[in-house]
Amino acid sequence: MNRLLPLALVLLAPALPAQLTPLQQQRDTPIARVVREVGPAVVNVYQEVDREVELRGWQRQFFGPMTTRQSSLGSGFLIDPEGYILTNAHVIQLDSQGRGVFVRLPDKSEFPAEVVGVDTDNDVALLKITPPAGVKLPCVRLGTSSDVMVGESILAIGNPLGNENSVSSGIVSAVLREVHAPPEPGRRDSPVFKDTIQVDAAINPGNSGGPLLNVLGEVVGINFMIADEAENIGFAIPIDRVRHSLIQTLMNPRLRSEVVTGLDVKGDPEARAVTLTDVQPDGPAARAGLHDGDRLVSIAGKPVQWEFDYNKALLAKNPGDSIDVVVEREGRTLKASLELGRDDSPMLVIWRRMGLAVVDHPRFKGVRVERVDPAGPAAMLGLQAGDLLDGIGEEEIDSTADLYQLIRGEPAGARVVVHVWRGNGASYGQMRLE
């Protein structure tokens, strides 16, 4: 049976031509046009990481543990002109002691990157670079994977084996393909993807995080895996799954800045429009006069084309702030001032302060860890999905309500001792609360 390998790579690294000559215009194709349009938004993601050198016998006794510094290389693509980049989670080594994450654009400019969020369950990460003032970065168009057809032409752009902005083309070989991905470091379980797109375009280590594109230049997936014992069998995470992760997890203002608007939004990938949904009675949005079905035109003075624009505008806001909103209703343009509320629900407080999603354990006292924020305090302590938390300091935990009560009043930066069961073993460690 073929083993599946993530496409991240260890290596080093070349860009795109410009104006077409008359002869080139005669040979121009849809794929060449997509490459010219999208290529400038595909980036090289790399990171200096320290890895232990495996020594055996007398060598280990004599030299002791040794490490070597390597460049971990993958791909990514800009989704927003302010510098937000999507890539694979397995490209980013959060637990390394290296120099951080860097991004190189096709024009050779390099930037340090902030890791905004990581979703290991969906193998997606969001990075942010800060371009010079006045520079508007190129970005891709996200399409939809819901109507991808078996047999349709696709192309991949990325950095295979360190060769920057390499292009390969092929067809969609299958959809809804089930793939068992290799487990992330520190995780016992292996993520299962039941909806991947199988392609025959040549993709190789280093293509991880790069876009899979249709002939209209729309991103329909993120290339993330190959079958290592086969030829031209690669897999991409469908962009609809990625979009959901981006909006609900990586860039969710409720998880990051506690703000509540009292509404949800729904984007339409085809029309590039965002509609207000689930406006809660007596919530901030309803008090501002907003209705279900209103089309969101702008927020905080910036136009809204998809859900990301809405979330981005809220990310820097705090509860109690007012934010200007423009909507369209039945052909009329309406302006409103939305005063943001605060989300103090127990589950979100635990997530923000500890970086944990937990549930009551069905059989034992304590709470079971469902998910760990890779950039949160729990990850720094080494907690994993499946762990059981049964105490904070001298206090026992019977439920998520107990955990919430124990941490809610602690000041930011407070250190608490967490009691953990993993398998049949008990341990404890000190965690710094956000």
State whether the Cα torsion 274-278-281-283 is positive or negative: negative
| 228 among known catalytic residues | no
> Contact 90/6 with Cβ under 8 angstroms?
yes
Residue 231: CB atoms within 10 A of its CB come to 8
Residues in a beta bridge with 53 = 66
**Coil, strand, or helix at residue 38?**
helix
Residue from 92, 352, 77, 104 nearest 218 by CA:
77
d(CA 338, CA 284): 6
Closest C-alpha to 177, from 191, 198, 203, 150? 198
Looking at 90, 173, 343, 387, which residue is catalytic?
90
Q: Where are the beta strands (DSSP E) in 200-272?
A: 211-214, 218-227, 234-238, 259-260, 264-268
Percent of residues in the chain assigned helix, strand, coil, to nearest 5: 20, 40, 40
Q: Cα(37)–Cα(31) distance, rounded to whole angstroms?
A: 10
Could you confirm whether 119 is annotated as catalytic?
A: no
Out of 75, 80, 119, 123, the active site residue is: 123
* Active-site option among 208, 309, 361, 387: 208
Name the pairing type of β-strands 367-372 and 388-392.
antiparallel
Say whether 90 is catalytic: yes
Distances (CA, A) of 197 to 16, 85, 145, 171, 215: 27, 21, 9, 10, 16
CA–CA separation, 219 and 197 (whole Å): 12
Query: Can you give the length of the chain in residues?
Result: 434
Return the exposure string of 17-36: e unless at least 16 CB atoms fall within 10 Å of the residue's CB, then b: eeeeeeeeeeeeeebeebbe
Residues identified as active-site: 90, 123, 208
